[in-house]
Amino acid sequence: MAIILRLDRVMADRKISLNELSAKVGISNVNLSNLKTGKVKAIRFSTLDAICKVLECQPGDILEYKEDE
């Protein structure tokens, strides 16, 4: 896949746990864990918006485009 999720890196930079982010964003630990590990095919803009608000970041900090080889 050409889109890489960097949520784990941003969470580490902000020193926020999966449980804490999950509670603040309002999504389950399982769904957030799937986002963190890149096991998803899509993300809702409302979820991305909530994550960016809590982490005080831009979508580009979480999502990265890498051309397929």
pLDDT tens per residue across span 13-55:
999 999 999 999 999 999 999 999 889 989 999 999 999 999 9
Question: Is 1's pLDDT higher than 70?
Answer: no
Question: Is 68's pLDDT higher than 90?
Answer: no
The residues that bridge with 4 in the sheet, in sequence order, are 64
Given this model, what pLDDT does residue 67 score?
86
The structure tokens listed for 16 are 């926020």
30's enclosing H/E stretch is: helix 29-37
The residue among 46 and 1 whose pLDDT is bigger is 46
Q: Phi first, then psi: give them for residue 64, nearest 5 degrees.
A: -130, 135
Structural domains in the chain, CATH included, are: 1-63 (1.10.260.40)
Which pTM was predicted?
A: 0.89
Pairwise CA distance, residues 31 & 33, whole Å: 5
